[in-house]
Copies of this chain bind each other. A is one copy, B any other.
Amino acid sequence: MYKIEFKDFFTYSFSLDCVIFGFQNGKIHVLLIKRAMEPFKNKWAIPGDLVYPDEDLAAAANRILVELTNLSMVDLHQAETFGNPNRHPQGRVITSAYMALIRIADFKATPASWAEEVKWQAIDELQELAFDHNAIIQSTYELLKKKMRTEPICFDLLPERFTLNELQCLYEFVYTTTFDKANFRKKLKHIPLIKQTEKQANVKHRPAKLFSFDSQLFQSLITQSEYQFKL
């Protein structure tokens, strides 16, 4: 047994992995990239890379996501940190997951740098991924599910204008249940959502009203009183 010097502790590396969620065809999807580099070359993974020595974490997460997928202006939030000593084959690399919820149609993800391809993959149809990325996605998805109960983040996944049916489908997928249509709508009547007089068009049945979320009103509600979103 020998003593470890202080400098011997500066032999770690630190990375960030971005779990980007979207909603498509009634299912939550995750953004994946195909690695063009060892280790795990040609395997699918979530976009992630090492942090620069003088870089702040939030800024690094954004930089990495842009470099690999050209997705910019995405609102990333920290999730769990993973530090199993064997999670990276080339050394001790600790990683923090950062997550974001985006409208797939409003962004255009394209591969760049050492990302060979990008794709949106349904969360319930994931193959085996590089590193411990399956575990990272799983843990981050659990966090998403928890947050959906108490924060109005569902609207980040839906189009600017959405039908109540779309909203209900999203919640039914995430909570893996079904809700009574009439009661689900009634609940929303009591929430600061603005009913759009505008209606759907080009549908082959009775058109639905379109709704949109008033995030300004929400912001003022939470700062003034202690309003608590719930659904």
Contact = CB atoms under 8 A, between A and B. Distances in A.
A134 to B, nearest CB: 18
Interface stretch (A22-30, A79-87, A101-109): A79-87
Interface residues of A, number: 31
Nearest to A8: B53
A150 B150 CA distance: 10
Given A94-B94, A149-B150, A50 B9 contact: yes
Nearest to A84: B56
A80 B52 CA distance: 20
Interface in A4-40: 4, 6, 8-14
Nearest to A53: B92
Contacts of A83: 14, 51, 56-57, 96
A207 interface: no
B9 A10 contact: no
Contacts of A12: 10, 12-14, 51, 53
A55 interface: yes
Contact of A13 (B10, B52, B80): B10
A80 B78 contact: yes
B91 A52 contact: no
Interface of A: 4, 6, 8-14, 50-57, 78, 80-81, 83-85, 90-92, 94, 96, 146, 149-150
